[in-house]
C-alpha cells in the first residue's frame, strides 16, 4: 500500500490506539479529538517528538464537526468513554451524560461514513448489540466484533 490511510482520532487519550493501528497499516492522522488537558499535553509532546503524526488537537468531541473533512478521511479511530458501561462505574449506559456514542455516530456521518475502528470495555456488549450495531447497520456499515483482553495486548492491567 503506497498511500496513507487518513484517520481522525477521537477520544485519543495518549495515542496508544493510533500507534497500534499505525503498526499494522500505513496511516496518517489528520485530526485528534481529546478533551483531557493532561492527555492533550502528552499528545502534543508525542507529536513534537515525532512519535505521532503532526495534526491539530480539537478539545471537545461535542463541538467537533466533520463536514470540513467529508470524504477526506478513510478511518475514524476511537475509544469513546467507557465509564457509562464499566463495571467500576454506575453502569448508566445511554443515560450517562459521558456516553458519547451518539457523537461518534454523528461524526461518522459528517465525515462521509469512513471505516470505523472503535474500542470499549466488555460490558458495553448489551448496548452494542441493542443500540450501536443496529444503528451502524442502518447507516450502511458491515460490522465485525472482537473481544480482546488487556493481557492479550501486553498491557498489565485487568480490562
C-alpha distances in angstroms, 32 versus 39, 86, 89, 108?
Answer: 11, 24, 26, 14
Q: Which three cell numbers stand for residue 96?
A: 450517562
Rounded CA separation 114/108 (Å): 6
Closest CA relative to residue 75, chosen from 5, 136, 137, 19: 5
104 contacts 69 by C-beta, under 8 angstroms: no
Backbone phi and psi for residue 71, each to the nearest 5 degrees, phi listed first:
75, 0
115 contacts 139 by C-beta, under 8 angstroms: no
Q: Indicate which residues carry an active-site annotation.
A: 82
- Distance linking the first and last C-alpha atoms of the chain: 33
What DSSP state is assigned to residue 62? T
Backbone phi and psi for residue 93, each to the nearest 5 degrees, phi listed first:
55, -130
Amino acid at each position: 500500500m503506497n498511500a496513507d490511510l487518513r484517520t481522525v482520532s477521537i477520544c485519543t487519550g495518549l495515542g496508544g490506539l493510533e500507534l497500534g493501528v499505525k503498526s499494522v497499516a500505513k496511516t496518517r492522522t489528520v485530526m485528534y479529538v481529546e478533551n483531557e488537558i493532561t492527555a492533550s499535553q502528552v499528545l502534543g509532546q508525542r507529536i513534537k517528538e515525532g512519535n505521532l503524526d503532526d495534526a491539530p488537537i480539537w478539545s471537545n468531541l461535542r463541538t467537533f464537526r466533520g463536514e470540513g473533512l467529508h470524504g477526506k478521511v478513510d478511518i475514524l479511530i476511537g475509544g469513546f468513554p467507557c465509564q457509562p458501561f464499566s463495571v467500576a462505574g454506575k453502569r448508566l449506559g445511554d443515560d450517562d451524560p459521558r456516553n458519547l456514542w451518539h457523537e461518534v455516530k454523528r461524526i461518522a456521518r459528517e465525515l462521509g461514513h469512513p471505516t470505523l475502528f472503535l474500542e470499549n470495555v466488555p460490558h458495553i456488549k448489551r448496548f452494542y448489540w441493542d443500540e450501536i450495531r443496529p444503528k451502524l447497520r442502518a447507516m450502511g456499515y458491515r460490522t465485525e466484533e472482537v473481544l480482546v483482553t488487556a493481557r492479550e495486548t501486553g498491557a498489565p492491567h485487568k480490562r
